[in-house]
Amino acid sequence: MQAKVIRIFSVLCIALAFSQVADAQKYRPFRAYVDQDGWAIGMNVGMTDLWGDVGTNAAIDHYGNSGYFDKVNFMGGLFGRYTFHPSFSVRMMLNYGSFYATDRWNEDGVKGDGLAEGSDYVQRFLRGQNAKATIVEASVLAEYKPFRFNIEGRAYRRGQLFIAAGIAAFHYTPYSTVAGGPTFVKTYDLSLEGQGWGGNYPKKPGRVQPAIPLAIGYRWDIGERLNLGIEYMYRMTLFDYLDGVSGNYISAFEYEQNLSPADAILAQQIADKTQYFNNALSNKPGTLRGNPGNNDAYSTFTITFAFKVPVRNKIWWADRRF
């Protein structure tokens, strides 16, 4: 009888101990689940999108047109992230990538029923422009994970939503094709709209520009030292020449007065492609080539992978709530 009581008492003690451990784990996060104080280093790679004057007017047409995946471009790079609270981190990034857009993406809209000749789809399609840009980008962002601000509920989940914002600087090189051909050439020095020629011409933007990155993503801890994430980041720029299109068409005479003979011919063949794609007359000088009222932007949809650097400091959650 005594042995039976001892066995029952032992089982109850073990059950109580396990329940206490489980209950304690509800209020103290596993280290494997939560970013420790200190550094993580990682890499990111993903698809890019150029949001400028060239291409579609609406995001749904940008992603939904039948030619979107014909020329996919990518950006990738390295980053370091310092965590000083489970909810707050600072990330420093260095990326390289390319972007692409074309007025051919409006073809599906042109084929639609009942479209007026002067519709946005038709105007963009007839313009026939395309643009490509390569970018080297450096940025600093502040990250916030809202569900890890308190030590209850979702704070213990391996997967965490995060948002981020910061500042960036990028060096860009714009390209476009010549006439109706497939070869891309650099356009910055050609001043397709007279940039930098003085007088009433637009100012020539520098090759290094600032941007404001905004991001949202989701990150999974897949071990004590590793995490995997997905992220969408949109960068607002402060100028309108990332795609090389902004203001008005200019005349052949103006190119000849300001460029070498070879560059003048090249600039004309790039700046006005209407005649090559649509068997139409050239656009009149002074008519709109783009929309100078809207600055350009670019975005990325990336996969991230990071390694948490081991530290010997006191663990942040040892003796205090967060």
pLDDT digits (tens, 9 = 90+) for 254-277: 999 999 999 999 999 999 998 887
Contact 285, 277 (CB under 8 A): no
Rounded to whole angstroms, what are the CA distances from 299 to 2, 44, 196, 228?
A: 73, 14, 28, 20
Confidence of residue 321 (pLDDT cuts 50, 70, 90): very low
For 20, the enclosing helix (H) or strand (E) is helix 2-27
Confidence of residue 118 (pLDDT cuts 50, 70, 90): low
The tokens describing 196, both together, are: 């930098």
Angle ∠(169,172,174) on CA atoms, nearest 5? 155
Half-sphere exposure of residue 25: CA atoms within 13 angstroms, side-chain side: 11
Q: What is the pLDDT of residue 111?
A: 83
Q: What is the pTM of this model?
A: 0.85
Q: How many residues does the chain have?
A: 322
34-308 belongs to CATH 3.40.640.10: no
| H helical segments located in 28-154 | 59-64, 107-110, 120-127
Q: Please give the Cα distance from 111 to 237 (Å, whole number).
A: 33
- Tens digit of pLDDT for each residue in 184-196? 999 999 999 999 9
